[in-house]
């Protein structure tokens, strides 16, 4: 009985060790995965202007080129006792769609976007846009928050290439369509050239026929004149 008890205890301890190891591994995996999930879900940029907190991010993520999207803008007061990274969107400031605007830049190109308020969440605004090219964009927030002038450059997350989510690849289909269309167009042009050539040849033959008839008529006239002179003699 003593031996059986020892065996049972050893088996129980071994199972506990295995479970603890598995739990530790699972916890480690979760700790690695969770930050990535949070980064994807909350890919927003936060900054401040004097006593105000500003946050921007894409409405639909992941954001891809060629799809209508929008940049969300959150404006709220800063809490004096907290660091910027600890600040949360709270008590949003409404009515800024008239005093603020967003200027979106991509390399040398830029566009000014008006802000649309979220009617359910005060202090939240949208700037709708269709990013046609993948890459990094810069959003300049310009205007005034109440009595505070604002000129702030912020950077939303990168825009991915549209092909990242496309299936099947449209480029091959488009290329085949272009080839087929080009072949058809070339054939139609060749038919048109052939028709024009035939028409030119037909016109040339008609002109030659008219010349022959004219010469014949002149010959008849000359012959008639000669015949009349002969009769007079």
Residues 14-31 have a mean pLDDT of 47
Mean pLDDT lowest for which of 51-60, 137-146, 187-196, 204-213? 204-213
Hey, what are 141's tokens? 């927030």
Residue 97 has pLDDT above 60, yes or no: yes
What residues have CB less than 8 Å from 42, skipping those under 6 apart?
Answer: 57
> What pLDDT, on a 0 to 100 scale, did the predictor assign at position 27?
44
Mean model confidence pLDDT for the chain:
77
Task: Indicate whether 21 and 91 sit together in one domain.
Answer: no
Task: Indicate whether 121 and 102 sit together in one domain.
Answer: yes
Write out pLDDT tens, residues 194-214: 877 777 777 666 666 666 666
Task: Indicate whether 50 and 160 sit together in one domain.
Answer: yes
The pLDDT-based confidence of 19 (bands split at 50, 70, 90) is very low
Q: What percent of the chain has pLDDT over 70?
A: 63
Residue 129 has pLDDT above 60, yes or no: yes
> Domain range for residue 149?
45-164
Task: Indicate whether 53 and 99 sit together in one domain.
Answer: yes
> What pLDDT, on a 0 to 100 scale, did the predictor assign at position 193?
76
Task: Indicate whether 155 and 130 sit together in one domain.
Answer: yes
Residue 33 has pLDDT above 60, yes or no: no
Residues 149-153 have a mean pLDDT of 96
Highest mean pLDDT among 17-26, 134-143, 171-180: 134-143
Task: Indicate whether 205 and 218 sit together in one domain.
Answer: yes
Write out pLDDT tens, residues 114-126: 999 999 999 999 9
Return the exposure string of 192-229: e unless at least 16 CB atoms fall within 10 Å of the residue's CB, then b: eeeeeeeeeeeeeeeeeeeeeeeeeeeeeeeeeeeeee
What phi and psi, each to the nearest 5 degrees, are found at residue 83?
Answer: -70, 160
Residues 208-227 have a mean pLDDT of 63
Which residue, 126, 141, 164, sits at the end of a domain? 164
Number of folded domains that form the chain? 3
């Amino acid at each position: 009985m003593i031996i059986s008890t020892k065996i049972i205890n050893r088996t129980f301890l071994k199972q506990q060790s295995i479970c603890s190891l598995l739990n530790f591994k699972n916890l480690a995996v979760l700790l690695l995965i969770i930050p990535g999930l949070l980064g994807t879900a909350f890919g927003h940029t936060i900054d401040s202007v004097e006593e105000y907190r500003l946050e921007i991010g894409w409405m639909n993520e992941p954001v891809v080129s060629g799809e209508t999207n929008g940049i969300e803008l959150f404006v709220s007061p800063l809490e004096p006792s907290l660091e910027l990274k600890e600040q949360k969107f709270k008590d949003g400031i409404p009515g800024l769609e008239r005093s603020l605007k967003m200027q979106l830049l991509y390399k040398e190109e830029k566009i000014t976007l008006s802000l649309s308020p979220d009617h359910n969440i005060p202090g939240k605004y949208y700037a709708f846009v269709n990013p046609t090219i993948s890459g990094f964009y810069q959003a300049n927030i310009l205007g005034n928050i109440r009595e505070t002038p604002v000129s702030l450059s912020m950077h939303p997350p990168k825009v991915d290439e549209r092909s990242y989510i496309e299936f099947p690849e449209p480029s091959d289909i488009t290329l085949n369509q272009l080839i087929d269309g080009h072949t058809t167009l070339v054939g139609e042009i060749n038919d048109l050239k052939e028709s024009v050539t035939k028409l030119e040849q037909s016109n040339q033959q008609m002109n030659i026929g008219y010349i022959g008839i004219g010469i014949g008529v002149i010959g008849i006239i000359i012959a008639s004149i000669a015949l009349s002179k002969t009769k007079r003699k």
